[in-house]
Structure 1
Amino acid sequence: MDKSLELELSSGYDLVCGTDEAGRGPLCGPVVAAACILPRDYDLPYLNDSKKLSEKRREELYELITQTAEWAVGMASPHEIDEYNILNASQLAMRRAVDSLIHRPQLVLIDGNVSRGFETATKTVVGGDRLCPSIAAASIIAKVTRDRLMKQIADDYPTLGLASHKGYPTKAHYAALREYIAENGELPEIYRVSFLRKFTLRQD
């Protein structure tokens, strides 16, 4: 990945981190964010937006990144997503990730066009996960972390198929959820009620 844009944006700052989230679209589970400070001399082949990589490649890059970079993860729960909305919950997760870094960065590069509540200087980058290496690295950490978490959660809800769709809205997911509600009379606590209001109304 070309480093030129990130070098331009980070001019004058010694310690710069990128941050990105995974899990804005799913019906259930947390939104997960990562913050990542890459070494200046890093060399990570195939680094790209996590959504453009195969699961195998993401896992390989995750291992490389977490061994060479300073990184941290932050999350916002389904309840917080319902309370604050997904955009604000995503920002909350990113702030938690940045605040969990061992070293406080002087600048935070954020994927997207929104920056709310950060105590550190920030710059937003639309499409940052394919333009800035530190944001791309954060996107990979966030995606792999969330996918692994959803596979763990799947063990508690074996009929919902969470290990395959990771909570995203698929026909199979909706069908499994209808069966779960029919049998149990309520949504599992891992679901984002605000994402399912129309769906739950259709069940009445």
Structure 2
Amino acid sequence: MTGISASPTDVEGLWVIERAPIKDSRGSFCRVFEPSVFEEWGWDGPVRQVNHSCTAQRGAVRGLHFQLPPHDETKLVTCLAGEVYDVAVDLRRGSPTFLSAFGTHLSADNRKSLLIPRGFAHGFQALTDDVELLYLHDRDYAPTHEGGLLATDPRLGIDWPIPISQMSERDLTHKPIEDDFEGID
């Protein structure tokens, strides 16, 4: 038994992953990832990259970032320390949930993850100081194929839970979505 389950979200193909830890007097143990289990929810490749981010300041926003084809990626985002409001935006051309944003709380305490398929932008807001996230990616990072959305774009309607305290220079330069944006393949 893996102790891993998934719940679909309102955005097609996007899953919230939950884990049931095994606990005893020493503490707890839980499985974070098992490819054969995750295939059912859209994971279809090996883990090609594992990243760890640390965000020091409550209110900071990172993202919204994505990779363009043929380097688009599926990723699993898990909070190891603190709490975040994690957001994914559907950018898939022709998707019934095109430009829909979904946000959920991930924390070290709730042990939830967000499984984000190809064709989505991703970002998060730190809700506590000293947040740490672990990312599993099924593709290698390709800087020539990266893209970004403005996290405060009114068209996306993301309701960040607390005032934004900090964003990177790069993330501040992302433009709002234009009316003629048709999505990515």
TM-score normalised to structure 1 length:
0.25
Name the one with the larger strand percent: 2
TM-score, normalising length from structure 2?
Answer: 0.27
Q: Which has the higher helix share?
A: 1
